[in-house]
């Protein structure tokens, strides 16, 4: 009987998780699956900073318009296929508010160290279950990453 229940759940979940568009899929079952995954790796992962080479990113109080402009160029080529600037999902989550949701270190680490972060970050794993696509590493230089971060800040209204 128990087995049948489990099978039924698995079927229901796989139906729920077919699209990246809906936010209503965070069921308890999803959570448990995610916890199981992360519990395999009880390392000292810091969810605020992420993991990678950036430990401290200094942001100016004001926007660096030049950097943001450079960042836009990279966005157009390497990111716009999957990310909108609004809060709407495309392949990946929309970027609106991302610079407020995430610490600058987290963003810089994620976009330069994508695979390791995807393996370790519980929130990314939850997004992965919704989007069903692993963000590919974009081979960004440190400079490009910093420019992109500035562009995200501009998109979030920093002036």
Q: Could you tell me the two tokens for 26?
A: 């965070």
Handedness of CA 63, 68, 69, 70 (dihedral sign): positive
- Examine residue 50 and tell whether it contacts ligand HEC (CB under 6 A): no
- Examine residue 30 and tell whether it contacts ligand HEC (CB under 6 A): no
Among 4-12, 22-30, 52-60, 127-135, which window interacts with ligand HEC (CB under 6 A)?
127-135
Among 7-15, 23-31, 41-49, 77-85, which window interacts with ligand HEC (CB under 6 A)?
77-85
Whose tokens are 């936010």? That residue is 23
- Examine residue 135 and tell whether it contacts ligand HEC (CB under 6 A): yes
Distance from chain centroid for Cα 11: 26
Q: Could you tell me the two tokens for 57?
A: 């990113």
Quick one: which of 31, 53, 73, 134 contacts ligand HEC (CB under 6 A)?
A: 134
7/77 with CB nearer ligand HEC: 77
- Examine residue 111 and tell whether it contacts ligand HEC (CB under 6 A): yes
Q: Which of 138, 142, 139, 103 is nearest to 121 (CA)?
A: 103
> Is residue 79 a contact partner of residue 73, using CB atoms and an 8 Å limit?
no
Quick one: which of 68, 107, 108, 117 contacts ligand HEC (CB under 6 A)?
A: 107
- Examine residue 117 and tell whether it contacts ligand HEC (CB under 6 A): no
- Examine residue 38 and tell whether it contacts ligand HEC (CB under 6 A): no
- Enumerate residues 6+ apart whose C-beta is below 8 A from 157: none
Whose tokens are 């993991």? That residue is 51
Which residues lie near ligand HEC (CB under 6 A)? Answer: 78-79, 81-83, 91-93, 98, 101-102, 107, 110-111, 118, 124, 127-128, 131, 133-136, 138, 140, 148
């Amino acid at each position: 009987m128990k087995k049948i229940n489990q099978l039924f759940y698995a079927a229901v979940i796989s139906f729920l998780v077919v699209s990246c568009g809906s936010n209503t899929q965070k069921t308890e079952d999803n959570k448990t699956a995610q916890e199981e995954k992360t519990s395999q790796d009880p390392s000292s992962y810091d969810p605020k900073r992420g993991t990678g080479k950036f430990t401290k990113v200094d942001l100016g109080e004001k926007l660096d318009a030049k950097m943001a402009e450079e960042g836009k160029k990279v966005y157009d080529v390497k990111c716009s296929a999957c990310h909108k600037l609004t809060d709407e999902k495309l392949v990946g989550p929309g970027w609106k508010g991302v610079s407020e949701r995430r610490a600058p270190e987290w963003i810089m680490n994620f976009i330069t160290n994508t695979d390791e972060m995807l393996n370790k970050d519980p929130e990314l794993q939850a997004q992965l279950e919704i989007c069903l696509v692993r963000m590919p590493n974009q081979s960004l230089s440190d400079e490009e990453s910093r420019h992109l971060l500035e562009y995200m800040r501009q998109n979030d209204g920093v002036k």
